[in-house]
Chain A
Amino acid sequence: DVKVTQSSRYLVKRTGEKVFLECVQDMDHENMFWYRQDPGLGLRLIYFSYDVKMKEKGDIPEGYSVSREKKERFSLILESASTNQTSMYLCASLRGLVPTDTQYFGPGTRLTVL
């Protein structure tokens, strides 16, 4: 069974703080993704990575950066957290291409920025 884990289920941070969200997958998948999920807006892609040290911007990259130093780990960084970044953050991984391979999601991190 593929497992995608995220470092925290719930996180509360203050405006201006630097925030790190960690994601780890145990199935040697090449592709990893960060989404945010908001009511009425669904899942929106922030960044994705198709290999170590490679990254591509998604649809809403502003205010975020990412790091992928090892294949199994993909980190999302909020350089200076703002209240409009309060959201559910979901990490996903994928071996190859959809739909032959399945995009597996982690349980999510609910981030509140005060």
Chain B
Amino acid sequence: QKEVEQDPGPLSVPEGAIVSLNCTYSNSAFQYFMWYRQYSRKGPELLMYTYSSGNKEDGRFTAQVDKSSKYISLFIRDSQPSDSATYLCAMSLYNTDKLIFGTGTRLQVFP
């Protein structure tokens, strides 16, 4: 079993839809949870991160962590065609320099 599981998609939604992207993990010691966005032919860029459980909001993006279920989510409100990209979840232990990545979910938002 992989440490981090992520549905590869693709996920295709109309503009304006609410998008839910998810990852599950097996290592209960993970403390930090990150979401990266990767546009085609580019490297990943950090969207947002959360520590331990709870929610974090940044504009149209909300990251949610449920440590009891070992489940994290990224919600995108009012999705735009410019949100079309691959979204990777990543996790790490406390104060480390190594990340464990999910496989990425490809999202397409059509006008």
Contact = CB atoms under 8 A, between A and B. Distances in A.
Interface residues of B, number: 24
Given A42-B6, A106-B43, 16 more contacts: A4-B43, A42-B88, A42-B103, A48-B97, A58-B98, A97-B96, A98-B32, A98-B96, A98-B97, A99-B34, A102-B46, A103-B99, A104-B45, A105-B45, A108-B42, A108-B43
B42 A99 contact: no
A94 B103 contact: no
A48 B98 CA distance: 9
Contacts of A39: 8
Contacts of B46: 102-103
Interface of B: 4, 6, 8, 32, 34, 41-46, 49, 51, 88, 92, 95-99, 101-104
Interface of A: 4, 9, 31, 35, 39-45, 48, 50, 58, 90, 92, 94, 96-99, 102-108
Contacts of B41: 9, 107-108
Nearest to B95: A97
B102 A42 contact: yes
Contacts of B43: 4, 90, 92, 105-108
A2 to B, nearest CB: 11
Given A50-B97, A106-B43, A107-B43, A99 B103 contact: no
B92 A98 contact: yes
A98 B34 contact: yes
A40 B103 contact: yes
A43 B34 CA distance: 14
B98 A40 contact: no
A94 B44 CA distance: 14
